[in-house]
Amino acid sequence: MRLGFFRRRSAPVARERLQILLEFERRADGTDLLALLRDEIITVIGKHVTLEPDKVQVKIDRGKNVSMLEVDVEVPNSDGALHATLIRAM
């Protein structure tokens, strides 16, 4: 059976994935952007409320035209039950 005929061409997928990834990696210039953002967010928010560093999560979902940056900060109840999630386009 010749499945090959019906299969999707894989090279265009490889090409697009690489283009998205490399555009991001070149901008990052070898630095770990997410770790940097996470550290700075912890510093900024930590000035005002008590934070547990491992309760701060920074994620990114890279798309072709727009990327979603998701920042999830969990703050203990003693500081007034604040749970903020920020999602914005990059």
* Residue ranges in contact with other proteins by CB under 8 A: 9-12, 14-15, 17-19, 21-22, 25-26, 29-30
Which of 35, 82 has the CB closer to other proteins? Answer: 35
Minimum distance, C-beta of residue 23 to other proteins, in the bound complex (Å): 10
Integer Cα distance of 28 and 31 in angstroms:
5
The answer for residues whose C-beta is within 8 angstroms of residue 73's C-beta and 6 or more apart is: 41, 45, 51, 55, 56, 57, 82, 83, 84, 85, 86
Which of 4, 80 has the CB closer to other proteins? Answer: 4
Minimum distance, C-beta of residue 25 to other proteins, in the bound complex (Å): 7
